[in-house]
Each structure stands twice: as C-alpha cells, then as structure tokens.
Amino acid sequence: MQRCHTDVISTLNCGHQFCSECWEMYFQVQIKVGISTTLECMGKDCETLVPEDFVLSKVTSPALRDKYQKYTFRDHVKSHPELRFCPGPNCPVIVRADTVEQKRVICKHCRTSFCFRCGIDYHAPTDCDIIKKWLTKCADDSETANYISAHTKDCPKCHVCIEKNGGCNHVQCTKCKHDFCWMCLGDWKTHGSEYYECSRYKENPNIANESAHAQAREALKKYLFYFERWENHAKSLKLEEETLKKILQRIEEKVMNNSGTWIDWQYLLNAAELLKKCRYTLQYTYPYAYYLEKGPRKELFENQQAQLEAELENLSWKVERAEITDRGVCVNMRLG
C-alpha cells in the first residue's frame, strides 16, 4: 500500500478506484493474453467492462496500444452477425453477408472456399451443427480408424496388393484385369447400374436386443462404414487433382502435335471441374447420412446419394481415360 494523490486516481462507473500506474500494469497483462472488448474492472468480483477510450488513456506503449486496437477490431468483427474473417492463411479479407445462413463463400483475394455461417470448409448438404459433431467424432475416434487409412487393398480375384492411384472407385487389377469396386470389393459387372448397395449401411434389425458390448461394436461398425467412404472421397479429390494436372499436360502435347486446339479439348477440363464439385458434395453426404434417422426420408436420400455416386464414378472412369473420341460421352453426361 502507498499514498497516492487524487490526481492520479481513476474510477469506472462501478466506483472502484485505482491509480493510473496500477491500471496500466493491469491492462498490459490483459492485452498480452489477447483480451480486449471483454476486459473487466480489476475490482474483486467486478464484471464492469472497461471502455476502449479509458484503456487507451492509460496505456502509454505505442506497440501495446496498437495490439489492443487490433484485438478490439477483431472482436467487433467476430461478434457482428453479418461479418466474418476469411479463414485463408494470412488473408486480411472480411466478408459481409446480408443474411446469416449456410452458404458457400469464395474469397476473391486468396480463393479459399468456406461456409459463411460456421467458417469451416463448405459442407452442403450437411448442416453446420452436424458437420461439427462429425468432425469432433472423427478426431475422437481417429486412432480407432487408423487401420483404414492405408492406401492398399488386395484384389478379390488374384489377391495381389493394389494401390489406388486415381479418384475413381471402379478399379481394374493390373495383373488379372479383374474389375471391382474399391469400397466393397464387389464385382463391377454385377455392382448395379442404377445405384450402389455399398453406399447404404445395412443395420442389424435385432441390435436393440443384443448386449451392450454387441451394441457398442455395431455402433463402431456403423461409424467406420461412413468414415471410410467420407475419407475415400477426400482422398479421391486429391488424386483427381493429379489427374487434372495430367489432363492439362496431355492437352498441351496434343495441341503442340496439331491434334486439335485448346477449344477441342475444353470438354475434358469442364468434365474434370464438374467431377471435382460433385465429388466434394458427395463426400459431405456421408456425415449427413450418418446422423439421419432411419425412415422413408433416409431411404430417399440414400437412393439419390447412390445414384449420384454411380454417375460420378462413371464420369471419373471416363475422365481418367478420356481421349477426343470420348468427347460426346463426356459432354452428354448429366449429374444430379
């Protein structure tokens, strides 16, 4: 304790009085840990917020004043319902929307795509609350799901080890030429032309009567089913990025060899871009389906999901192997 002249004593609306030196030391500590608009009076159990002009009148360090104002601006943007910082790395852009809803935003500065409502990667048709639950579950169960992160599987016919090097789930064994589905390992010829049975999880109808251990095992089995397909489409997206680079290289070679012009080959780039958009959407249908209650609505959704998957894999197969003779087939394909 020490004696202070009244000229150096300052007080807030709450009535707590402290000297300017104490206020400044307190503000320095709070600002250094990132507190700005939520900065409270240092009186015991006092929740009175300190006004910005009061803080600036006590803080003398230019660097600390600048940091405080940056933190204050950040907090104002985060608290405003119509504003959001672009989540792109080191991107200074602030996005404004007239309505706060789940919508895709593409930053003009860094080209980052994100959902305006929650700020993470765009995730339609899954809503923000469900995708957060899904991502949390994936993080919690990551160790359990480690075994499915491998890139190889055995051919169901000749049992040779195969590495998936493209985005398409229609895989052909390089040794025995057997065509099969990467996800369920079923024969591609009998896989179904309208939709994929391997995209629909088949629940045990008697699981409610089973033991707690059996129910837990069934719950894990269900999660792994959807997680494997979610992860597979994410990997396919990365592989199809490599396919796009190969397509661009192949077009350059064709043009240089006078085998058509850039316009003649534009259909391949359009098909690859459509494939990327649909693959991204399909990936986010699996968290949505995981949390969807069993019933007619889920059956309808799974039918539409499976039809999209069938058309998407058909397009993926053709894009990875397309030449100019396949132009009509690619151009005429329609994905729902």
How far is residue 198's CA from residue 204's CA, in Å, rounded to a whole number?
A: 16
Considering only CA atoms, give the Rg of the chain: 29
In this predicted structure, which of 20-34, 102-116, 151-165, 192-206 has the lowest mean pLDDT? 192-206
Position 210 scores a pLDDT of 66
CB contact set of 181 (below 8 Å; sequence gap of 6+): 169, 170, 171, 188, 191, 196, 198
The domains of the chain, with CATH numbers, are 1-68 (3.30.40.10), 80-122 (no CATH), 131-321 (1.20.120.1750)
In this predicted structure, which of 30-34, 136-140, 227-231 has the lowest mean pLDDT? 136-140
330 counts as catalytic:
no
- Specify the amino acid at residue 105: V
**Does pLDDT of 83 surpass 80?**
yes
Provide mean pLDDT across the span 113-141.
Answer: 87
Question: Which listed residue (41, 86, 168, 198) is catalytic?
Answer: 168
Q: Average per-residue pLDDT in the chain?
A: 81
How far is residue 192's CA from residue 200's CA, in Å, rounded to a whole number?
A: 13
- Specify the amino acid at residue 271: A
How far is residue 17's CA from residue 287's CA, in Å, rounded to a whole number?
A: 55
**Does pLDDT of 335 surpass 50?**
no
How far is residue 285's CA from residue 7's CA, in Å, rounded to a whole number?
A: 66
Percent of the chain topping pLDDT 90 = 17
pLDDT per position as a tens digit, 49-81 = 999 999 999 898 999 999 999 999 988 888 888
Position 66 scores a pLDDT of 93
Position 331 scores a pLDDT of 57
Displacement of CA 91 from its chain's centroid (Å): 18
Position 194 scores a pLDDT of 46
- pLDDT classification of 336: cutoffs 50, 70, 90: very low
Q: Give the position of tokens 């009085």.
A: 17
Q: Give the position of tokens 């840990």.
A: 33
Position 213 scores a pLDDT of 62
